Each structure stands twice: as structure tokens, then as C-alpha cells.
Amino acid sequence: MRDVDHEAPVYLHQLPVPGEERYLSLALVNTRFALSHGTVDLLDDTEAAHLWLVRHELLPDRVALNGRQYGRLLGLREALRALFEAYGAQGRPAADDLATLNAALAAAPSTPRLAWTADGPHRADVPDTANPAAAALSLLAEDATDLLTGGEADQLTACAARGCTRWFLRSHAARRWCTTKCGNRVRAARAYEARKAR
């Protein structure tokens, strides 16, 4: 069982949602979520954003994040949320949201390389690391592109629990909630309404 740091803020105890372990772009979108006392933003300042990028191995700890780069990270997060929503609604995203993702992709394009390991030759795309923050955004944008165009895209869904703003990958068609916590909240609310109606 996972040790819980009872001194840490309650939002740090949020359970990860299915898909975040494979898609960092999904984890990025879920850095802003709602709790009973209001909205929590894990990227609420440059220091918090730097820590998130370092923890997800997207940025070296020694590399600082400036205000402009922080703004681009937040812009990418909002664009990804809008793209996920457009995908979920089977609609077209706003041109600005698509342009934000494409700008992040172009900021630090990967260079294809031939790598040779014990398993033999394979393609390895090496990101441009001249600007580490741009490279981090480019990797997040590439990750989102892979998610939206790959075989798991049809599993991308918004949590159906009222007040929850997180996205996840459904493991089966009947799943509607990002975590059992959200599912339990919905079932408890239904049971309360049923008792009240009686």
C-alpha cells in the first residue's frame, strides 16, 4: 500500500487517472482539476510548473523556466484541453488551439537518427535540446498528437462525474469515471436522491 504524507496538501493525494502513465499530455491537461473547496492548479506559478516538468523528466532540474515559457506551457495545456473536447464532441477544434499545438511541435523538432542496440537497428527521434523548455513543450505536443491520432484515441473521454474536469483513457466501454472516487461520489449522490424522493 502507498504511504500517504498526511502533511501534504489534499490535492497531492489525487489518484492518477488511467492513461496518464502512458501519455504525459493527458497528465498535463489534468494538472488543473476541481475539488470540493475549489479549483486546484498544479502549475499555479513558474516554480510549480518547473517542478512538474522536472518530475515528469521533461526538463533538467538545473534549467530554469522563465515567465514566457511558463505562459506557453499554460497555453499548450488549454489548447490540449480544447482539442480533447473537440475530439470528444466529434467536432473541429478552434484554429488557434490547433496552431498552439503545431507551434509547440515546431519549436524543437526531432531529428531522426538510426540507433543500433542489442536488438538491432531502429529509428530513434532525437529532440532538439538547444532550448530545453521548448523541447519539453514539443515533446508534450508530440505526445498529444500521438494520443489523438493513435489506436487509443477512441478511449479518450472526460470524466462523467459532476464537477470533475479530468480526462482519462477508458479501459472498457462502460467506464464513465476517471477514478473509483468519482464513481463512488456519483453513486452516493444517486442513493441520496433516491432516499430523498421516498
Distances in whole angstroms, Cα of residue 96 to Cα of each of 14, 67, 99:
31, 21, 5
The single residue listed with the C-alpha cell 492518477 is 16
Percentage of the chain beyond pLDDT 70 is: 85
Identify the residue with better confidence: 11 or 182.
Answer: 182
- CATH number among 1.10.3300.10, 1.10.8.50, 1.10.1040.10, 1.10.15.40, domain 15-197: 1.10.3300.10
User: What tens digit of pLDDT does each residue of 35-65 get?
Assistant: 877 889 999 999 999 999 999 999 999 999 9
Task: Please determine, for residue 189, whether its predicted confidence score (pLDDT) is greater than 80.
Answer: no
Predicted model pTM:
0.82
The full set of domain ranges for the chain reads 15-197
The single residue listed with the C-alpha cell 501519455 is 23
